[in-house]
């Protein structure tokens, strides 16, 4: 049996971000790899490039140079619609702000998310959604609207939604940033447990170095953002 391709592989990636104080701001990353099923925390101060890296892996931003592969697929040749479809099949997302649909129940939020992937037949989607919500401890909250849930419960719905399509890669952007320390620890542990159960690789952006240290690998993003003067660009 052949080995699985890396969950993510990036080489010679470059992106022009704009101009600030007369200097060109760029993002540069020579190499990054995350094995299938692996876990990594992206760390570093605000503005160092953590979210830019996450957005490049997600295909929400397109690099100007270099190569970004997810599950062995090069993102650059994909059309916008092809990239959207690939993202829906391959990736799940958990955000600090939850991004739940306020007028929909916990169960409906997960079911809506499943419309963007094809890993689960339509007839089995409800059972899959219910099973995931039960797995994250919300078996009694299936019909609750987000406004009736605690912040920790809302993030648990977001985790269930992110994993509903059986993605190979979960991208989590400060998923514990809006939570108190006790809830943050519980949610962080839950993300890791469910990712392992689902055999899903994890890239987690966090400012919490104590949480980051619990992952087997930390990637310091300092040095990814560069400010180049106009005269240097001209050369």
- 191-221 pLDDT tens trace: 999 999 999 999 999 989 999 999 999 999 9
Q: In degrees rounded to 5, what are phi and psi of residue 219?
A: -120, 110
Q: Whole-structure pTM over 0.85, yes or no? A: yes
The answer to whether residue 190 scores a pLDDT higher than 60 is yes
Within a domain: residue 70? no
Q: How far apart are CA 219 and CA 235, in angstroms?
A: 31
Cα atoms found within 13 Å of the Cα of residue 119, Cβ hemisphere only: 22
- The DSSP secondary structure of the chain, one letter per residue, reads -PPPPPSEEEEEEEEEEEEETTEEEEEEEEEEEE-TT-EEEEE-STTSSHHHHHHHHHTSS--SEEEEEETTEESTT--HHHHHHHHHHHEEEEETT----TTS-HHHHHHHHHTT--SS-GGGHHHHHHHHHHHTT-TT-TT--GGGS-HHHHHHHHHHHHHTT--SEEEEESTTTTS-HHHHHHHHHHHHHHHHHHT-EEEEE-S-HHHHTTSS-EEE-TTSEEEEEHHHHH-
Asked whether 215 and 43 are in contact (CB, 8 A), the reply is no
| Domain region containing 143 | 37-61+80-219
Within a domain: residue 14? no
- 113-142 pLDDT tens trace: 787 666 666 678 899 999 999 999 999 999
Q: 217 CB contacts (<8 Å, ≥6 apart)?
A: 38, 39, 40, 41
The answer to whether residue 69 scores a pLDDT higher than 60 is yes
Distance spanning both ends of the chain, measured CA to CA? 50
Residue 233 pLDDT class (50, 70, 90 cuts): very low
Within a domain: residue 188? yes
For residue 180, give the CATH number of its domain: 3.40.50.300
Q: 41 CB contacts (<8 Å, ≥6 apart)?
A: 204, 205, 206, 211, 212, 215, 217, 218, 219
Within a domain: residue 140? yes
Within a domain: residue 95? yes
Within a domain: residue 228? no
- 138-189 pLDDT tens trace: 999 999 999 999 999 999 999 999 999 899 999 999 999 889 999 999 999 9
Give CA 165 to chain center in angstroms. 14
Give the tokens for residue 167: 């993605």
Within a domain: residue 48? yes
How many domains is the chain built from? Answer: 1
Within a domain: residue 16? no
């Amino acid at each position: 049996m052949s080995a699985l391709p890396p969950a993510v592989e990036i080489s010679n990636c470059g992106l022009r971000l704009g101009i600030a104080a007369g200097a060109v701001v760029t993002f540069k990353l020579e190499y990054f790899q995350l094995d299938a099923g692996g876990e990594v925390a992206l760390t570093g101060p605000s503005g160092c490039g953590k979210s830019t890296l996450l957005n490049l892996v997600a295909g929400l931003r397109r690099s100007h140079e270099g190569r970004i592969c997810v599950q062995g697929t090069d993102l650059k040749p994909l059309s916008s619609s092809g990239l959207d479809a690939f993202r829906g099949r391959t990736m799940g997302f958990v955000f600090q702000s939850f991004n739940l649909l306020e007028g929909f129940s916990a169960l409906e939020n997960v079911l809506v998310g499943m419309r963007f992937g094809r890993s689960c037949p339509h007839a089995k989607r409800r059972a899959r959604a219910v099973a995931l919500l039960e797995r994250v401890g919300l078996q009694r909250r299936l019909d609750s609207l987000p406004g009736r849930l605690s912040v920790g419960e809302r993030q648990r719905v977001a985790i269930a939604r992110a994993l509903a399509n059986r993605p190979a890669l979960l991208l989590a952007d400060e998923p514990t940033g809006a939570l108190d320390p006790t809830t943050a620890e519980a949610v962080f542990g839950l993300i890791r447990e469910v990712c392992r159960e689902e055999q899903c690789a994890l890239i987690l952006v966090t400012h919490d170095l104590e949480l980051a240290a619990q992952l087997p690998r930390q990637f310091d993003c300092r040095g990814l953002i560069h400010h180049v003067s106009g005269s240097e660009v001209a050369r």
